[in-house]
Chain A
Amino acid sequence: MKKLLIKIIVLIAIILINLSIFTACDFKSVNDHYDINLEGDFEVSFLISCNTILTTDGAFDNLSESLQPLIPKDGLMFAKTTVLCETYDSVLDMLKKICANQKLQLTAGSDNYVSSIGHLTERLYFNNLGGWMYKVNGKLADYGAADYTLKVGDNVEWHYTCEPNDI
């Protein structure tokens, strides 16, 4: 009798833990995820570029065959555009919104590190360097993308870097 009781309590606890994990997750269908309107209080300009893949010798040929057609011919995943941004939005929040709006793939985990935009992941290039970096007003930022709060008129540029100091 006592053993049965313990078993039932353990079973209920396991079910409760699973349910709480399940409810803590935010499930969205593909359409819902990409259904985002860019609304906000002030304007910033935004750009996402992977131009270095095309300009660095051998970088494009080094990509896998299934990835090559996904790289835009002009090297611009998101051409320079003025977008609306909400107060207290960080660069990462804005990037997430724009990628969802433009149906661009984006990997930014819970550590807020942007490892891939538009299927172009970090460390693809043969020297294992490479990855996404961002500039604000022409200067490489010293903060993580989630820590930089946007200000009125900021000019944000995301670049894929293949070699040191190439952006």
Chain B
Amino acid sequence: MSRLERYNPLVIFIYFMLAIFIVMFSMHPVIICISFIASFALSLKLEGVIKIAKSLIYILPMIIIITLTNPLFVHKGATELFFINGNAITLEALIYGLAVSLKLSSIIYWFRVYSYIMTSDKVVYLFGKVSPRLSLVLSMSLRFVPLYVKKFREADDATRALGGYATSNIKDKLLAKLHVFSIVFSIAIEGAISTSDSMSARGYGLGKRTNYHNFKWLWTDTITIIVVIILGVLTSVIMALGYSDFDYYPLIDSIQSSALSVVSYISYLSLAVAAVAVEIKEGVTWHILKSRI
């Protein structure tokens, strides 16, 4: 279990929302680079090298395609490389495409880590009081996805064992798949009825619902949430004041080095890297403790 998972879900939720929303509303290359490196390192630390290497199979082509597509449609920019059909392919458009694709992939990595840490019980804990019905529906439907995937595999295997796919005709194969779908569909409908019967038999809807959760609010949570909010608000306020505005067209701006912009870079850097730092620190502490035994 990683250290991040042991924080209160509220802390985790606010941390990720701040880290993601700041990079969503910024086109500044420094912020984007920080966000990409931090989110990549964090998902590498949490999910392991193999899974992240697999994710690169679709992330890298996405980066290349967006980078190459942007100059084909945007002809702004002063540094012309060459012309296609009288329209300029510019260096600025190429770099803008790279920045957008890095931003997009960093947001993908942030959400990967977010969904890795925020399991459905944490979501229900966070939003259960706000809207109990919604969180019930959410947790039930989240449970139904893996359930019906499993049921589909079972029906699929049974059909295969019965020789349902033993034909070279594509149409017959598709019909067999359709049959499997209808099986899973009837299982789902039956399941819904028996679930509702079971719920009413156990007295759902008779009184006020309570829910059980095992999350405590510790003093480390208080400190962490204060630090996270201060860093996030500091960065957002400086961004809103326009100190980290950045123009790509017609010429790429130089990166500002005024005191306030540097403060915003540093505060976002410390916000983004905090999660990785916490994880690494925990690993080192564990290592030291283990070596003392």
CB-contacts of A91-142 with B (<8 A)? 96, 105, 107-109, 116, 119, 121
> A70 to B82, Cβ gap below 8 A?
no
Q: Is residue A65 within 8 Å, beta carbon to beta carbon, of the partner chain? A: yes
Main secondary structure on A side of the interface with B:
mixed
> A107 to B87, Cβ gap below 8 A?
yes
Q: Is residue B78 within 8 Å, beta carbon to beta carbon, of the partner chain? A: yes
Q: Is residue B80 within 8 Å, beta carbon to beta carbon, of the partner chain? A: yes
Q: How far is the CA of A27 from the CA of B84 in the complex (A)?
A: 5
Q: Which residue of B lies closest to A120 (CB)?
A: B250
- Known A-B contacts A64-B247, A70-B78; the reply to A105 vs B88 at CB < 8 A is yes
Interface string of B57-90 (1 = CB under 8 A from A): 0000000000000000001101011111111100
Q: How many contacts between A and B, using CB within 8 angstroms?
A: 59
> A107 to B82, Cβ gap below 8 A?
no
Q: Is residue B252 within 8 Å, beta carbon to beta carbon, of the partner chain? A: yes
Q: How far is the CA of A32 from the CA of B82 in the complex (A)?
A: 9
Centre residue among A28, A66, A116 by max chain B CB count within 10 A: A66
Interface string of A17-30 (1 = CB under 8 A from B): 00000000111111
Interface string of A29-46 (1 = CB under 8 A from B): 110110000000000000
Q: How far is the CA of A43 from the CA of B87 in the complex (A)?
A: 27
The size class of the interface chain A forms with chain B is 20 to 34
> B250 to A25, Cβ gap below 8 A?
no
Q: Is residue A8 within 8 Å, beta carbon to beta carbon, of the partner chain? A: no
> B250 to A33, Cβ gap below 8 A?
no
> B253 to A66, Cβ gap below 8 A?
yes
Q: Is residue B251 within 8 Å, beta carbon to beta carbon, of the partner chain? A: yes
Q: How far is the CA of A64 from the CA of B75 in the complex (A)?
A: 18
Q: Is residue A67 within 8 Å, beta carbon to beta carbon, of the partner chain? A: yes
- Known A-B contacts A65-B253, A66-B250, A66-B252; the reply to A27 vs B76 at CB < 8 A is no
> B250 to A67, Cβ gap below 8 A?
yes
Q: Give chain B residues whose Cβ lies under 8 Å from the Cβ of A65.
A: 247, 253
- Min CB–CB distance B17 → chain A (angstroms): 30
Q: How far is the CA of A105 from the CA of B86 in the complex (A)?
A: 11
Q: Give chain A residues whose Cβ lies under 8 Å from the Cβ of B81.
A: 30
Q: How far is the CA of A116 from the CA of B251 in the complex (A)?
A: 15
Q: How far is the CA of A32 from the CA of B247 in the complex (A)?
A: 29
29 contacts between A and B (CB under 8 A): A27-B82, A27-B84, A28-B82, A28-B84, A30-B81, A33-B80, A33-B83, A33-B86, A33-B88, A64-B247, A64-B249, A65-B247, A65-B253, A66-B247, A66-B250, A67-B247, A67-B251, A70-B78, A107-B75, A107-B76, A108-B86, A109-B87, A116-B75, A116-B76, A119-B76, A119-B78, A119-B250, A121-B76, A121-B249
Given A26-B84, A30-B83, 15 more A-B residue pairs with CB atoms under 8 Å apart are A26-B85, A27-B84, A28-B82, A29-B82, A29-B83, A30-B80, A64-B253, A66-B251, A67-B250, A70-B250, A96-B86, A108-B86, A109-B75, A116-B75, A119-B249
Chain B residues engaging chain A, CB cutoff 8 angstroms:
75-76, 78, 80-88, 247, 249-253
Chain A residues engaging chain B, CB cutoff 8 angstroms:
25-30, 32-33, 64-67, 70, 96, 105, 107-109, 116, 119, 121
In the A-B complex, list the 4 residue pairs whose CB atoms are closest, starting with the nearest. A66-B251, A119-B250, A28-B83, A64-B247
